[in-house]
Each structure stands twice: as C-alpha cells, then as structure tokens.
Structure 1
Amino acid sequence: MNFLKRAGLSLWSRKGKTLIMLGTFLVISAMVLGGVLIEDATARAGDAAKRKIGAEVTLAIDFDKLTADGGSGLSAPQMATATIDQIGKSPLVKHYNYEGIQFTDLADPLTYEGKPTEKDKDRDRDRDRERHPDGIPPMSQLPLVKGVLESGAMPGFSSGRWKLLDGEPITLADRDREVVLIEERLAKLNALKVGDRIKLGRIKTDPSTEKQTVDGYTEFTVGGIYRDPGDQDPDYLVPAGNRLIAPIAAAAEALGEDGKVPAQVGGATFTLNDPGDFPAFKKHAEDVAGAQLDPFALQINDKAIKQMTGPLSAVTSSAGLAMWLIGVAGAAVLALLTTLAVKQRRKEFGVLLSMGEPPWKLVAQQVTEIVVVAALAVGLSALFTEALTQKAAGSLVSGEADSARAELAAWEPPPPGSTGLGQGIDPGSEPVEGADPIDKITVRLDNGALATVAGVGLGIGLLATVMPAASVLRLSPRTILSKGE
C-alpha cells in the first residue's frame, strides 16, 4: 500500500484527532487570512487617500537652517520665478504654483467690506485727511488680489476647503488673461455673476508722503465665483470676501506698481503625479536650483496623509500582531499534536519498518496528512473569513477614527502672539483641514490573499511536523516490536 493511501485511511480512522487538527488549522487560517485581508484593505484605502490628497510638495523657507547659519539679514530669502518655472517643467510634476499679491480698489459703484461711503469720505476729510486719502481705506481693508499660475493648486482649493461654485478655474493658459475669481460674499454684495466685468484699480504709493492713491483702473472679467468658509485670509488678515484670484502675469501688469511679474518669490507648491516620485523630484530640484535652494526646504504633505491613515496604521499593527501570535501558538499546538501522534503510532511505524517500508515514506505520510488537513482548512476559512473580517475591521477602524477625530477636535491654537510652547502646545500638531481620518475600509478576498494564507498555513504545518516526524528515521523496528519503545 502506498503512503498516500495510508495517509487517507489514517485520517479517516482517527476522526477525533483529525478534527482537532482541522480546528487548529482552521483558526490559524482564519486569523492569517483575516490579517492579510486587513493589510490589503488598509493599503488600498491608504493609496486612495494619497490620490485624494495628492502629492503636494511645498518649497518654503527653512527657518531652522537660517537660524543655524546665523540668519540672512533683514530680507527673507527669495527664489527666481524662472528657476521655479524650470523645476515645474519636470515630467514628474502634474502642476505647480506660486503667488504674487497686489492690493487693489474696486471702481464705483462696486463695493466691498470696509470700503468707505461718501459720508465716510467727507468725515475723514474733515477729521483726518491723511487717514483715508482720496477715499482709500487702510491696506488691511483693501481687496487683495492673489496672482497665481493655477488656482486649483492653491492650498484652499487642493484641500477641498474652498469650492468653485460657478465658472472655470485659472490655469496656465490664462497667464495673461484679465480674468478674476471672486469670493461668494463679494459676488452677492454686488450682484455679480460669471461673465460680468469689474474695474480693479492700481494702488500707487507716494514715496515721500506714503499716501496711497488709485492710479487708473483695468477691466477684468469674472471668470468664476468660489466659496471660502473662513472669515479672514490667514496670511494677510484681510476679510476673506475681499480676496480675489487672478492670473499672476495679468495681475502684475494691471495692478503692480512696476507692471511686471515678480522676478522672485518666497515659495511655491508642486503637485506630483505620484507620491513615490518625491525623491527623484527633490534631486531634480537640487540640480536645477543649485545654491538657490540652500535657504529653502522641500517638504511633501505627508502630515495630511498621516492624519487620514492614522486609524489604518493602528488597525494594521493590531491585526499583524494578532496574526503572528496565533501563528506561533498554532505552530506550537501542531508540533505537540504531531509529537504525541508519533509516540502513539510507534508500533504502527515499527511494523511498517519491519516489512521493509523506507523511513522517508513514513515521514512523507505524516506530511501528506498535514497538507490535506491544511488545504481543507484554508478552503473552509475562505467561505466565512471575508464577512467576519469586514465586520471586525470595520468596527476597529471606526473606533480608531472616532478617537482620532476627538483628538483633532480637542486641539486648540496657541494664544495670539504666542508660539504655544509655553503652554505645552505644539504648533506643528495643528490638524490639516480636509484630511478627515478614514473610518471605513472594504475587505476583498482575492487569489493573492488565498495564496498567501495557503503558503503560511502549509509552512507552519510543515515546520511543526517535519521535526517530530523526522524522529521516525531513528526508529529501530526490532526495539519497538520487542520492547514497545
């Protein structure tokens, strides 16, 4: 009788031990398969989060480096826009952006938050002629025009916090076009719609008196209307409704005092096609910019990605740890069962050896029994593990996401004028808007997962079986049959 047939008969005749071994393998297979499914699901969710957030690289001043170098004088470091344009032409870059700002005034009859009325002008002329010369309010109340290459690359739009309600975004093709995006509040205040034309004034400052006047108006077409839920521009402290967005070249030519695109800017943003391209992009930027890059740092927006995928990392770690613990415990149990089986079947093996059966066939019989049970366990676990894992993983991810959201909601900014370090607040821990923690994953069973769990299950079974079964090679049939040892 060949060893394969004997293995089948042995499993059938020892139904109790076979069921115990099947149950052990079933637990191992279900846990390993569950861990593999969770890892696959979290990896897919993480990739989706990266695609949603985008691989946005920020070129910003490296203050730590400046401090270490003893500062750089009174002016902040600048980089030539021509250099940034050259960096942005890399095939690794999906689009890039940098900003130039201009303050402006809206020609009557248009109005905006903070614009003085005729009564205000008369009162200011009587009380303080220098306060609002020619009816122009303080700079902090003037409308702010942000000149950009692409509006979609601005952090407000890329994070989803700002929404374009009507019209088209500004793109590289609009670089010299006199079009402008206006905020919803400004549009409602003046009953403006896409396609309307508005006049924006060039603000000129008299260097001797520092008085500001309007030096002519240029007509711009309203190309779109967007919504900003905030009340104030965080960088320039003007009312959010007073922020306009225009192509950088057109804004500089029409509204800048010298009518030229800024030759240098203090930073830029680049959106990569793939987050994995960051090392190659960084090297490309270093090659192009050279020494210009020294006072700057290139940083990818991994903070937003980490904020979104934090719950996934916690669940993956827990699932991986449980998978390894069950695997090790299962291997130990299988090794114990196999060792007991070899001791209990010594007489059977002695008879077979005395009949001339090669010892390796006895080992092969043991291995075959394990392989058959393991294969059956993997097949059975595939029937129910997907559904169980979906429920368990969904509950775990949801719980971790709730904890992460509560932690983010509890964050409070430092008091005005303070870094927050004295109060134990880390300014770098400020939550990223539009990067909500992921609270759902979808478990999907595929051939790859089954192959993985089959390989792991068989590997555990073989390792737990070969060593005890190999003791058969040292058995002496005469000793077993004469002394029972």
Structure 2
Amino acid sequence: MNLFKRAWWRLRAHAGKTVMLVGLFFVICTLVLSGFLVRSAAARAADSAKNSVGVVATMQLDLNAYLASGKGSQSDDGRPGMIGADADLSRRLVDRICRSPVVARCNYTKDGVAAPTDQVRLHQPVAAPAGQDTTGVNFFRADGIRDLDSVKEFRNGDSVIVSGSGITSGSGSDMVVIEERVAKHNRLQVGDKVKLNANILNPDGRLGTQETDFTIGGIYRNSTADPSVYVPPMQAPSNQIYVTPDGATRLDGKKVGADGGIVRSATFTLRNPDDLTPLKKAATAAGADLETFPISVNDKQYRTLVGPIGKTADFASLTVWLVAVAGTVILALIIASNMRERRKEMGILLSLGEKKPKLLGQHLVEVVACAVLAIGCAAAGSQFVAQAVGGRLLSGQVASAKESAAEQVPGQNLADPTGGAVREDTPRVEPIDTIDIELGIGDMGAIGATGLGIAALATIVPGARILRLNPRDILTKGD
C-alpha cells in the first residue's frame, strides 16, 4: 500500500493527535519565525543607522609614540626632549585625507586661548572673591574650527548665530565669532576690527602676549544662563569664542605657514564602519605618519543608535536556538511515544512485507504534513507576535541604555586648558526605539527550512530504531 495513503488515513483517523502535533509545531514555528523577523528588522535598522550617522574617526598626536620614536629636540643626554615642529598636524595634510571617497564629512579643530584687551574684555557677571588669585584663568577660550555648524553646541541648538555668519572652510584667518553677551559688554558689532592678545614664548622662556588683529564675522547666542556664583572666565559659556584653525595658530604666536597652518586633531565621518582600513591607506598615501598620528574610530553614535536593538536581536537569536532545540527534543519524545503505541501496526506491516525505510517514511510524511500546515499558520500570525514582543523587548533595552548613560560621569580632558570635562565632537543621539517588522521571502524560507529540519530530526532520531526491529520481536515481545 502507498505510504502516502496510509499517512493520510492515519492523520484523519486520529484527528486529536494530529491537531495536537499541528498545535505544537505552530507554537514552535511562531516563536522561531518571530525571532527571525526581529533579527531581520534589527539588521535593517542597523544598516539604516550606519548610512545616516556613519562612524567618526579621529586623527591626533600620540605623544608617547612621538617621544619613543626619537623625534623632537634632543636633551643633553641624547634622549628626546622638547616637542618639535614635527609634532604639528598639518591642515594641508588633513585636507588631502578629507578628499578620500570613504569620507562623508571632515572637520579639524585646534584648542587655544586668547587674552583680553582693552577693546575686548571678558564677560564676568560675578566678580572673583576678594583676595583670590585669578592668574592663568582670565582668558577667552578660543577654539579653532573648520566649520562652525559641525560644532556640537550648534548642531544640537544650544548655540545659534544671531548676527553675521559662522565660520566655514573658506573663512579668513582673521575671522572671529563671539558670544552675544561679550558683544554687548564691549559694544561690538559684526564687521568691527578688534584686537586679541596672542600668547607667545619670549626668548627668556617667559610667556608674553602680542596683540593680534581680528574681524568679527558673527555673533552667536548660547542658551546657557550666566552662573550665579563666580567661575573662572574660561569656564563661562559667554567667554567661548571661535576662530579658524589659522586664527588659532596666530593666537599661539605663530605665523601661518605655506602648509596652511596646524591643527590639534582632525575628525573624519566615514560612510561605513568598515571604511577604517581604506581611510588609513588614504592617510598613508597623503603622507601621514600613522605611528605618530594614529587614526582611532569613535563609533559611539552608531553604538548608541543600534545598541538596544542589537541586544534585542541577540535575545531573539538566542530564543530561536533555544526554541528550536527544545522543540526538537519535545517532538522527538512525542513521536517516540507515538511509535511505541503503534508497535502492533508496524509489526503487521513488516510481516506483510513492507520495507523498513518506507515504514519510517510514513511517519516522516505524517510529521512533515503537520509541520507544513503549522508553518502556514505561523506565517500568518508571527508578524503580529514579533511586533508586540520585539517592541516590548526593545523598550526595555532602551530604558536600560538611558539609565546607564545617565550614570556615566564625564572624564577629565588633560589637554583642555580649563581642565574641564571631555567635550565630544559627536552629536548626542537617541537610540532606535522602534522596530519595523516585515515578513519577507527570506524569512519564509528560513522558517520553512527550520520547521522541516526539526520535523525530520525529531522523526528520524527516534524512528531509526525501526530499522533494527523485526516483526517477530514486535508482535511477541510487544516492544
């Protein structure tokens, strides 16, 4: 008799067991398919985030590597001493690296300070306590930047231009952008010629000042209110001024050379997190010494965006494996029990001349038929289950990520003249908090292969003992 007919009659004759097997397969396939859908949605979200924010690579001097290489001026005993001009990062070099096709956006900065003059005085709403020494803090903080719009405070809206324009890559070295309160305090307007004191090192080794000409190109407003107590002027938000990288070089008491000036660090926003190697090759081709000026990746934005949804995908993948393994074991036990109950049927069929592989094939057809029906039902409902479960898991991961971020304390930036907290050059972003579930052909193929694989494994493993049986043993011993 045809094994397919026997399988069909068996499924119809024992409808209760058939429904139970289909229900068990439905639960397994629904959970597995939901895991596949969540994982696929997370991968799409990660790709979207990768294209939207990219990854920021930073290039700056590694002082330890510089000194270990023997560069710089030599001391009396022949060991590296003072830092020399070869520790300067050339802006022209950075510009060549910026032209690399893997770079979506680049910026470079140079931290600096400017001493006030009679024409441009510090804004200090609360005077220093009597007798307190303020030497070394009565300066403007002067950041040399390539593009003012790329500065974090302007990207997130904490600072806005209220008059004039911001600094761009085409701005002159004499352009300066000052805060509105400093402008009002000194009665300055856009277009005014002003002088700021640059810091220079005198031949006797003492620090001096030198008046340097600037033109006010823009006035901005910072939303941070004046402090109610005394703070060093350099830490007051109103005393933050912006100049070009060449302007910051001039405030260091140096002349802008033929190489376009120097910068402290450069940042490159990559189009893809995997573009770090091509960027390093482009930097080497441009003439950069990556031992002295290493390029490190800051993918904090990307990790912030995809961190929670990535953890959700990892949990979904773990669920797929656990459900698949547990489902296979449970089904194997049920099928083994079912075969034990059908021992007389198998003995009779074997005594009538039925081949053992066909007898095992009948059981496999029955289980596969239930699996196919369950897979079809799971495809109809898994999208809703995955959306609900994935959304709940993601919201929990997002809440956990925000709590962890709130507990982090900013570190100290030793290169900061104010000794303040580290100021990041990347904008603050919120993690992805929504998941878009889509059922695709690939997901259907994956659940189909998984479901049929579970059915085959759960049938063949316990059914392999059929191949070792003979009719006499089954009918006489009952096993």
TM-score (norm 2): 0.76
Change (3 A) 1:371 1:178: farther
Q: 2:249 matched to 1:241?
A: no
Pairs within 5 Å for 1:282-321: 282-289=280-287, 292-321=289-318
Question: Could you list the per-position Cα deviations for residues 297-318 of structure 1 after superposition, in whole angstroms to 9, with x for gaps in the alignment?
Answer: 3211123433443333433333
- Higher mean Cα deviation, 474-483 or 336-345? 474-483
Q: 2:136 matched to 1:144?
A: no
Correspondent of 2:331 among 326, 331, 334? 334
Q: 2:13 matched to 1:13?
A: yes
Q: Which amino acid aligns with 1:370?
A: V
Correspondent of 1:388 among 369, 372, 385? 385
Query: Residue 102 of structure 2 aligns with which residue?
Result: 92
C-alpha distance in structure 2 between counterparts of 1:228 and 1:70, whole Å: 47
1:336 to partner: Cα distance: 1.1
Query: Residue 41 of structure 2 aligns with which residue?
Result: 41
1:101 to partner: Cα distance: 5.7
Other structure's SS at 1:98 match: strand
C-alpha distance in structure 1 between counterparts of 2:286 and 2:412, whole Å: 41
Show structure 2 runs of 5+ residues with no match: 72-79, 128-132, 228-232, 415-420
Pairs within 5 Å for 1:116-265: 140-142=138-140, 144=142, 146-148=144-146, 150-156=147-153, 160=156, 164=160, 170-172=167-169, 174-176=170-172, 183=179, 196-201=190-195, 203=197, 207=202, 212=209, 214-218=211-215, 220-222=216-218, 225=220, 227=222, 237=234, 239-248=236-245, 258-260=255-257, 263-265=261-263
Q: Is the 8 A contact 2:92 2:260 kept in 1?
A: no
Query: Residue 278 of structure 2 aligns with which residue?
Result: 280
C-alpha distance in structure 2 between counterparts of 1:391 and 1:62, whole Å: 49
Question: Could you list the per-position Cα deviations for residues 372-431 of structure 1 after superposition, in whole angstroms to 9, with x for gaps in the alignment?
Answer: 2112212222233322332222222222322332232233457999xxxxxxxxx99x99
Pairs within 5 Å for 1:459-478: 459-477=453-471
What is the identity percentage for the equivalent residue pairs of Structure 1 and Structure 2?
31
1:275 to partner: Cα distance: 1.3
Q: Is the 8 A contact 2:115 2:199 kept in 1?
A: no
Correspondent of 1:73 among 81, 100, 113? 81
Query: Residue 114 of structure 1 aligns with which residue?
Result: 123
Change (3 A) 1:379 1:179: farther
TM-score (norm 1): 0.75
1:269 to partner: Cα distance: 0.8
Change (3 A) 1:96 1:264: same
Q: CA RMSD in A?
A: 4.4
1:293 to partner: Cα distance: 2.2
Query: Residue 83 of structure 1 aligns with which residue?
Result: 93
1:335 to partner: Cα distance: 0.8
Other structure's SS at 2:105 match: strand
C-alpha distance in structure 2 between counterparts of 1:165 and 1:10, whole Å: 80
Q: 2:265 matched to 1:271?
A: no
1:175 to partner: Cα distance: 4.9
1:171 to partner: Cα distance: 4.6
How many residue pairs were aligned? 447
Query: Residue 430 of structure 2 aligns with which residue?
Result: 436
Question: Could you list the per-position Cα deviations for residues 81-104 of structure 1 after superposition, in whole angstroms to 9, with x for gaps in the alignment?
Answer: 333222222211122222246766
Show structure 1 runs of 5+ residues with no match: 121-130, 132-136, 418-426
Query: Residue 395 of structure 2 aligns with which residue?
Result: 398
Which structure carries more helix by proportion? 1
